[in-house]
Amino acid sequence: MFVTVHCRRRAGENAAGVLKRGHPVIVHGRLRLWGDPERPDMQVDAYSVGIDLARFADVEQPLAAAA
Protein backbone atom coordinates (compact mmCIF):
# COMPACT_ATOMS: atom_id res chain seq x y z
CA MET A 1 0.00 0.00 0.00
CA PHE A 2 1.26 3.47 -0.85
CA VAL A 3 0.28 6.45 1.29
CA THR A 4 1.24 10.07 0.68
CA VAL A 5 3.59 11.27 3.43
CA HIS A 6 4.24 14.97 3.99
CA CYS A 7 7.44 15.91 5.83
CA ARG A 8 8.30 19.47 6.75
CA ARG A 9 11.59 21.33 7.00
CA ARG A 10 14.71 19.33 7.77
CA ALA A 11 12.87 15.99 8.03
CA GLY A 12 11.61 16.51 4.48
CA GLU A 13 15.04 17.44 3.15
CA ASN A 14 16.66 14.39 4.78
CA ALA A 15 13.91 12.00 3.65
CA ALA A 16 14.10 13.30 0.06
CA GLY A 17 17.87 12.82 0.03
CA VAL A 18 17.82 9.27 1.40
CA LEU A 19 14.53 7.55 0.52
CA LYS A 20 13.02 6.47 -2.79
CA ARG A 21 9.49 5.48 -3.69
CA GLY A 22 8.89 1.93 -2.57
CA HIS A 23 11.35 1.90 0.34
CA PRO A 24 9.70 0.43 3.44
CA VAL A 25 9.45 3.14 6.07
CA ILE A 26 8.14 3.66 9.56
CA VAL A 27 6.20 6.91 9.92
CA HIS A 28 5.06 8.67 13.08
CA GLY A 29 2.50 11.40 12.51
CA ARG A 30 -1.12 12.33 11.95
CA LEU A 31 -3.21 10.29 9.49
CA ARG A 32 -5.83 12.12 7.43
CA LEU A 33 -8.62 10.36 5.55
CA TRP A 34 -11.09 11.92 3.13
CA GLY A 35 -13.20 11.05 0.12
CA ASP A 36 -15.09 7.81 -0.45
CA PRO A 37 -15.59 5.87 2.83
CA GLU A 38 -15.14 2.58 0.93
CA ARG A 39 -11.75 3.66 -0.48
CA PRO A 40 -10.55 6.86 1.22
CA ASP A 41 -7.60 9.00 0.16
CA MET A 42 -4.88 8.82 2.81
CA GLN A 43 -2.16 11.25 3.79
CA VAL A 44 0.21 11.32 6.77
CA ASP A 45 1.60 14.57 8.16
CA ALA A 46 4.82 13.07 9.49
CA TYR A 47 6.63 14.09 12.64
CA SER A 48 9.39 11.57 11.90
CA VAL A 49 10.24 9.08 9.15
CA GLY A 50 12.73 6.23 9.22
CA ILE A 51 13.67 3.26 7.05
CA ASP A 52 12.21 -0.06 8.22
CA LEU A 53 15.37 -2.17 8.46
CA ALA A 54 13.39 -5.35 9.14
CA ARG A 55 11.91 -5.12 5.63
CA PHE A 56 14.65 -3.33 3.70
CA ALA A 57 16.30 -5.92 1.46
CA ASP A 58 17.62 -3.83 -1.47
CA VAL A 59 21.30 -4.61 -0.91
CA GLU A 60 22.33 -3.55 -4.43
CA GLN A 61 20.84 -0.06 -3.94
CA PRO A 62 22.00 1.04 -0.48
CA LEU A 63 20.58 4.14 1.14
CA ALA A 64 22.33 7.37 0.27
CA ALA A 65 24.58 8.82 2.93
CA ALA A 66 22.89 11.60 4.85
CA ALA A 67 24.75 14.88 4.62
User: Does the residue 14 lie in any domain?
Assistant: yes
Burial of 2 (0-12, 13-18, 19+ CB in 10 A): exposed
The pLDDT mean for the chain works out to 84
User: Does the residue 63 lie in any domain?
Assistant: no
Domain total in the chain: 1
Share of the chain above pLDDT 90, in %: 27
Residue 59 has pLDDT above 50, yes or no: no
Phi, psi angle pair for 61, to nearest 5° = -120, 80
Is pTM beyond 0.75 here? no
pLDDT tier at 63, thresholds 50, 70, 90: low
User: Does the residue 29 lie in any domain?
Assistant: yes
Judged by DSSP in three states, 18 sits in helix
Report d(CA 43, CA 41) in Å as an integer. Answer: 7
Domain that holds residue 19: 4-51
